[in-house]
Chains A and B, each alone.
Chain A
Amino acid sequence: MAIKEDEIEKIAELARIRISEGEIGQVTRRIAEILHMVDQLQAIDTHEVEPMANPLDANQRLRPDTVTEDNRRDSFQAIAPATENGLYLVPKVIE
């Protein structure tokens, strides 16, 4: 299935990446090539094969419920683009 520009635009919106008018053609072409390449998987019979999310098939360890973190707000916010009164600032969020 060849992907179309409007689909790429939708995906780019989901991924929050602006793509300019000028780029969209080439971006679409290259992604179409990649999708064409990965499409060879569709021919493989994977009936009853359990998907493998982790190469070791290991299980989750559980952490004790203890507080181990101190307040490091100052050092974390020293590298933030915009803060005020201890809050991170973003353009107004409209609910």
Chain B
Amino acid sequence: MQLEPVIGLEVHLQLATRSKIFSGSATRFGAEPNTQASAVDLAMPGMLPVLNGYAVACAVKFGLGIGAQISRRSVFDRKNYFYPDLPKGYQISQFDAPIVGRGNFEISMQDGSTRSIGITRAHLEEDAGKSLHEDFHGQTGIDLNRAGTPLLEIVSEPDIRNAAEAVAYLRALHSLVTYLGISDGNMAEGSMRCDINISLRPMGNATLGTRTEIKNVNSFRFVEKAIHHEVERQADIIEGGGNVVQETRLYDADRDETRSMRSKEVANDYRYFPEPDLLPVVIDEAYIEAIRGELPELPTEKRHRFREQYGLSNYDANVLSDTRALGDYFETVVATCQSPKISANWVQVELLRQLNRDDTAIEHCPVSAGQLGGLILRILDNTISGKIAKQVFEAMWKGQGSADEIIEQRGLKQVSDGDQLETMVDAVIAANATQVAQFIVANEDKRKKLIGFFVGQVMKLSKGQANPQIVNTLLAQKLK
């Protein structure tokens, strides 16, 4: 029996507000424990929530970004449960009337194909604090700095069929929300956390199997691993004739396994009801239109445009539109050098490699897009070869100047002077009599290889500065 995984994702996205969703505390990451927890965040008696307007704007931006229904009237509810990181004993969330309704999201797979993933809803809610389990004499320490940080919970339809699609969905979501500027998307700081709902069913079967929920997976790689692991686990159970138990599981990255969270199995009854300290959020057409006017070009739109305008491949268009900053960088390079193809190569290969190596964000790239464009211009006008250009780029990365300055200072200009090159070619022929003798008797294939050898020797002699095309022509003449 062939089994098909059915996967839905709930993404908790931390919104890029300065202050919390219901209080005026800062949301800065990494502050000393409880220094960003106000009386409201601590649920001091008599304290009341007031809604942050920017959090609402972020949610509406997201809704417009996926073409979803924006609720003209949405309601906050209390989700009641006791936990030390939840000071009020309830989380303010949205249950019946979320701010963003149904929408659709197009994701692009590695092979260039696209899939459409349904978005069930997205709602605003507050984050909880953190429990620190290091030993405080056998006790747990509670830090409430994060309590009240605004989250947008984005719930997908169970439209995802495998780990690759899940990761593609998350990447696309990450790209969208950073484009929109509604989240910094910093996974390491928990700005995007994911719950995975997963079940298996016989291929072609319409009814869903029993699902498990894997909580709080916070990197693309772990999502992939957790899904692989959980699919395998459930398949083993079903194939062994057993039944999957509906439960919440935790992905343990260290052991690469999911395990049951028994402590959460005490039947929860969240007793949702409308939060009486907040009133319904009513937004009108004018508000929505104003936000629509602020929307930037979205990743899908940019991807399409890159293909059309620059003739890029699907793959290149995908990579280069991944973030707004990278897309902007690429377009500035093109504007400087007028060559989309070489620009695309340089940005994807050299630039991204260096950024990765130094773990630097594009926003902090030491080589500006204009500078890179300037370097490419020197390749295009044959001042330097591609190979030398890489050296120049290294130097530029270290802040040693512009392409022209470095070429000038180091005398890296390509040698295209016929006399100079002829002298070098002659010297190489004279020094390699054995190879010349072989060349004379060699067949076509062997000759090609030997020409390569001679070119290499000339390049070595010229410290890489010889114009390879002219060297080729000269060698062909001399060895005839």
Contact = CB atoms under 8 A, between A and B. Distances in A.
Q: Quick check: do A and B touch in the complex, using CB within 8 A?
A: yes
Interface of A: 14, 16, 53-54, 58-69, 71-73, 76-77, 82, 84-95
Contact of B141 (A66, A76, A87): A87
Contacts of A67: 18-19, 24-26
A77 B82 CA distance: 21
B208 interface: no
Chief secondary structure at chain B's binding surface: loop
Given A59-B282, A66-B19, A71-B35, A89 B142 contact: yes
A65 B282 contact: no
A-B interface, 5 closest residue pairs, ranked by CB to CB distance from nearest: A62-B53, A68-B24, A87-B141, A65-B54, A69-B38
20 contacts: A14-B271, A53-B75, A59-B281, A60-B279, A65-B18, A65-B52, A66-B24, A69-B36, A76-B34, A82-B139, A85-B136, A86-B32, A86-B33, A86-B34, A89-B139, A89-B140, A90-B84, A92-B139, A92-B140, A93-B131
B364 interface: no
A53 B36 CA distance: 32
Given A76-B42, A88-B142, A95 B34 contact: no
A88 B144 contact: yes
A76 B278 CA distance: 25
B17 A61 contact: no
Q: Which of B26, B34, B282 has the most CB of A within 10 A?
A: B34
Given A68-B19, A88-B84, A73 B34 contact: yes
B395 to A, nearest CB: 43
A53 B34 contact: no
A87 B132 contact: yes
Interface in B113-164: 131-133, 136, 138-144
Interface of A is mostly: loop
Contacts of A61: 50-51, 279
Given A69-B24, A73-B34, A95-B263, A63 B52 contact: yes
Interface of B: 17-19, 23-26, 32-39, 42, 44, 50-56, 75, 82, 84, 131-133, 136, 138-144, 250, 261, 263, 269, 271, 274, 276, 278-282
A35 B42 CA distance: 34
A41 to B, nearest CB: 16
B281 A93 contact: no
A36 B145 CA distance: 44
Given A60-B280, A86-B33, A88-B34, A93 B84 contact: yes
Contacts of A94: 263
In this complex, the member of A53, A86, A87 whose beta carbon has the largest number of chain B beta carbons within 10 angstroms is A87
B278 A60 contact: yes
Contacts of B141: 84-85, 87-89
A95 B250 contact: yes
Contacts of A95: 133, 250, 261, 263
A55 B283 CA distance: 20
B25 A69 contact: yes
Contacts of A76: 34, 37, 39, 42, 44
B52 to A, nearest CB: 5
A5 B190 CA distance: 44
Contacts of A63: 24, 50-53
A92 B133 contact: yes
Contacts of B269: 14
A87 B233 CA distance: 39
Contacts of A53: 75, 274, 276, 280
Contacts of A91: 138-140
Contacts of A89: 136, 139-142
A64 B37 CA distance: 18
- Name, among A54, A66, A69, A72, the residue most crowded by chain B CB atoms within 10 Å (CB to CB): A69
B53 A64 contact: yes
Given A88-B141, A90-B84, 14 more contacts: A54-B276, A54-B279, A58-B279, A60-B282, A61-B50, A62-B52, A63-B51, A63-B53, A69-B24, A85-B141, A86-B33, A90-B140, A91-B138, A93-B140
Contact of A77 (B34, B39, B52, B282): B34
A49 to B, nearest CB: 15
Contacts of B55: 65
A25 to B, nearest CB: 24
Nearest to A60: B279
A59 B279 contact: yes
